Structure 1
Amino acid sequence: MAITAYPFDSQAVTETQFSYLFRELSSGVAASSDSSAFRVSAAGTSMAVTVQPGFALVRGHAVLSTAVETVTIPAADTATRTDAVVLRLDPTANTITLAVLKGAPGSPSPSLTQTDSGIYELRLAWVTVPGNATSITASNVAEGRQFTRGYVGSWWNSTRPTSPRLGDLGFNRSTSAWEFWNGSSWANLAPSVSWPSVTDKPSVFPPAAHTHSWSQISDAPSTIAPSAHKHAWGDITGTPSTYPPSSHSHSWSSITSKPSTFPPSSHSHSQYLTSGSTISWANGTKRAHAYHVGGSGTYYAVWVDGSGDFGRNTSSIRYKTNVRDSEVTSGDVLALRPRVYDRKDYEKPDGTPVTGRKNEFGLIAEEVFETLPEIVCFNEEGEIETVRYDLLGVALLPVVQDQEARIKALEERLSALEGQVSAT
């Protein structure tokens, strides 16, 4: 029978038949030309290259790589040569493998073996091997992949389809232009048009709005009366050598022989800081000055928060809600450990060094937090900052009250014992 059709259900199809069917799809990497599929690059400081994973068709056979492969380049010769990295189809061994075709020094890159029924090689890259080289660099590897064709393809000049058909269309990445096979050569799909090739164009054109340089103007006057203009001071002659100063001002830094300090004149202030105002920390720290108080009227303890806002420390029930008994026990207070310590040295914002106070007496806030967290304060970052020493006296009240109760109980027992002794 002269006509054979396949594949159909319940029909045996040979490798040769399938290969003949799929080779019509053309050999090449089955991906976009800007993808990394089967892209070859330098492996690093060695005579090797790496090949990225990908899927390709090689003369009707499929090959799938799922991991980066490393291929060794043969040792360098004394002169430069060009090798080729290929996918090699061997139908007899039923394999498609990565291989290196070693070139000859001073000769073009090695030719590919592309038989119809035997070995078929598909180039992936050219590798220039400099004389006596010990490693392959990125500049030594040149793109050489060919891609499968559909209705539209993509290639470089060096990887155009080897057997194009009339009407094959593709984007040439070397020229950044669309081209097609016209039966004998690759033609630009949208060629640029030169002026000589334009037909039916007019022979002359009326001039559009334009300008001319002065040298192009004929019959121009030799002299021109000056219009309003200015001159630089250095161009003016006969100027006076000095001028009486007009009304002006001077910057403070330009004044000489000024006193270094000035005693304040008599003055007064119209208002004072009130609750809710913000303290301007003139001394560069958040520490109030150690001024005492005097005069008549009510005295308040003042609280200052981390933002510089301050207010009165009030105790009236008018300012309080949710009032309840304290759960502080005398054991919590008696567990506190008085300490003696030295303050760390520091610098003021202006760079002035300050030596910390030595042998200072007080509590460690972290230790207080373990038994009496009610009197520990935190900073804006949530870190333990200080102890509310003003509340320490309140915390001591349960201790005093407990001791008072114990003293009274002991006095009553002592009085009872004395009465028993007197009765006997």
Structure 2
Amino acid sequence: MAITSFPFDSQVVTESQYGYLFREFQDSGVVAAYDSPGFQVSAGNGMVVNVQPGLAILRGHMVQSTAAEALTIPAAGTSTRVDRVVLRLDPASNSITLAVKAGSVGSTAPPALSQTDTGIYEMALANVTVAANVTTITSADVSATRPVVGHRVGVWATSTRPSSPRKGQLGFNNSLARWEWWDGSTWADLAPTVSWASLTGKPSSFWPSVHSHAWGEITEKPTAFPAAEHSHNWDSVVGKPSYFPPTSHGHSWGQISDKPGSYPPSGHSHGEYLTSGSTISWANGSKMPHNNSASGSGTWYAVWVEGDGTFCRNTSSIRYKENVRDIEIDPAAVLALRPRIYDRKPTEGKPQSRKDEYGLIAEEVAATLPEIVTYDEEGRIDALRYDLLGVALLPVVQDQAKRIERLEALVEELARAA
């Protein structure tokens, strides 16, 4: 196996050997900044393109042009073709020259380059699109393809990357604005952008570090803070009463045992409350009062009629009451009541006269607030004590008043703390 080494003193070194040496120092390309005009091709007049002066390396050989050169593009044909402006190294003639390689008529692909290792070597500077029957080349017809080399690493476009890179070769891709290197099979980004999706080993959630916020920094705060649901051990409750009167409740007629078979009316009288011609009549659950308005000064009473027809007046003085005790009414039971609108069923033989009445349904009230529900002689739910509804509302109002006081005190405390 022959071993050849060069260059040494008193030794003949061929141009091929110098080419081998210098191509290891630098790739083929224009020696200039990427955006410099070196060997840049532009449209001239008519079918002429101009090539700017410049310095370039072709397969270890150097070429220098000190003045702009004009190249004539062959005449257009009847179909579009793509020509190439090239620098051509010809070792046989010891020259590197500018040349135009005409493309195939009707093809949008430029002609192939000749890039042999010891013979003709061509480097493309630009593609020139020659449309059918044109007589002028415009700037839109010229697209640059020249490769540019730096002093130590290459600078290129995606379309002008080195044709035979070596693994690890580094350069700057001006088309993609990134540094890239040849990994043996593809040009890889030297500093790729890492996306969140490409990260491995990420935790599934990120707990916030311990921190605090001033009260004024918190947005969308509620105006009131109801107490969270909680419970207390019986022993931890202070101020418990010594006894607990039973809460108001009711029993259905069917639950009552040992009821008498009949109920004789107790002795009573109507006196002045019922005068000649006055009647109390039933109309589908409603009793029609005597047509007499209450106005002016004097003493007035709310009059009630018991199920057996007995008149009585509604009293509230303590002198009529005994065994007075507190009653616990669940505010939620009162708030659960549903105001309704309804029409009265017509009285037999009379047209319907009462529509769109407002009120409550006694059966619905019995489910949550049975204390104000009354029953007829047969034990059926019959009516409501609307006069007691206002009393039932008092615990709701009192409970809300206490909540408001506690919340106002809490807001003041939090404001001071902030």
TM-score, scaled relative to structure 1: 0.47
Of structures 1 and 2, the one with the larger relative CO (CA 8 A, separation 6+) is 2
Greater Cα radius of gyration, structure 1 or 2: 2
For normalisation by structure 2, the TM-score amounts to 0.47
